[in-house]
Amino acid sequence: MRSRSRVWGGTAAVVLGGLLAAGCGGGSAGKNGTADAGAGKAAPGEYPVAVTDCAGAETTFSKAPEKIVTSNASSLELLLRLGAGGKVIGTGFPPGKGTLPPALDAAAQQVKVLGRTVIPKEKLLGSGADLYIDTFADMSMGGGMGDTPTEEEFKAAGIKHIYLKSTACAAQSKNAVTDLSAVEADITSLGRVTGTSAKAHELVAGMKEKVDAVQKAVGGTPRNARPTYFFFDYDAGTKQPTATCNRQVANAVITLAGARNVFADCDGDYKQVGWEDVIAKNPDWIQLGIRNRGSEAANDKAFDEAEKWLKSNSATKGLKAVKEGHLLRIGSEQTTIAGVENADTVETIAKALHPGKVGGR
């Protein structure tokens, strides 16, 4: 687990995979995704709580942490949804204004930014935190991204170090990710650690309800009858496309929605491919994966740019999905970053690909 997938600044979009305790998977909650700063006081009997990292090493909590630093916007968002956002004293990869749901955005903007990208080692160790939640498998990427403290240094600073396993451990997984169980496990584990288990179970239940409804409608569709699907990561660059492989949470989202990820045969989370590979797959549907720009107008402009590029590029304008207008405008974050909105994306994709089968809410 000593490698890191990909990191983007700007909107704090980090597409990796994995969280805290016992397992791997996912779901989503619409009405439950609020930032209740006073929620989730843990009863004394709920501790100690032990969680594991990607290699199975345990970290034990005798009480809820009081001062939390998050490596990026994904773990920050989860804490806000759990009602533990008031304990966050700093973050790296901060969310741009307007990039989180409105109920969370104002609170997120109040969190101190310790690093626009990776938090510098000295700043992290001197932050005064008693918990650091890491969405990444490792911080030693080179190229000015900074060094990760050693576990001994974390311990000397009094900081417990845990991971979002659904992202941090994804690339090292031995099996394809086809459901949201790892995401659900992350949410449940964070709830246990922060004393917000009741809210965590509420969020997970909402995710399961939504995904189960989609599965009831389209889950019986034979694999060879499911439309093929390509996640076009426009913001990762157009010169050489980036394939979303079978260890990435997006593979689960696509599969649960009743589609076939055209790069599901790629073992890993991401892989750079050539446009000739996409042309050979000739997908039935293409998702225009753009990262949240902070406003509806800015997002629409980015979607327009991605669509125009596909329609004007000689290598892609002949693709079936492009010619038939099967281009879905769904943001990257809720598709490729583990969180409660993964379930919403499952439903959105299913509605488009299986009209009449998946009902509205």
Q: What is the pLDDT of residues 57-67, one digit of tens each?
A: 999 999 999 99
How far is it, in rounded angstroms, from Cα 47 to Cα 235?
43
Residue ranges of the chain whose pLDDT lies below 70: 1-45, 138-146, 360-361
Which pLDDT score is estimated for 147?
76
Query: For residue 18, which amino acid is it?
Result: G
Residues in the chain: 361
Tokens (6 digits) for 82 = 């759990």
Is-cis flag, bond preceding 149, omega within 30? no
For residue 124, which of 89, 167, 76, 166 has the smallest C-alpha distance?
Answer: 89
Which pLDDT score is estimated for 360?
54
Q: How many CB atoms lie within 10 A of CB 11?
A: 24
Which pLDDT score is estimated for 146?
52
Q: Could you tell me which residues are beta bridge partners of residue 58? A: 52
Residues 6+ apart with CB under 8 A from 225: none
Q: What are phi and psi of 247, to 5 degrees?
A: -95, -5
Region of 104 (left: φ > 0; alpha: ψ -120 to 50; beta: rest) is alpha
Q: What is the DSSP letter of 29?
A: -
- Domains present along the chain, CATH in parentheses: 44-206 (3.40.50.1980), 221-353 (3.40.50.1980)
Region of 258 (left: φ > 0; alpha: ψ -120 to 50; beta: rest) is left
How far is it, in rounded angstroms, from Cα 153 to Cα 323?
55
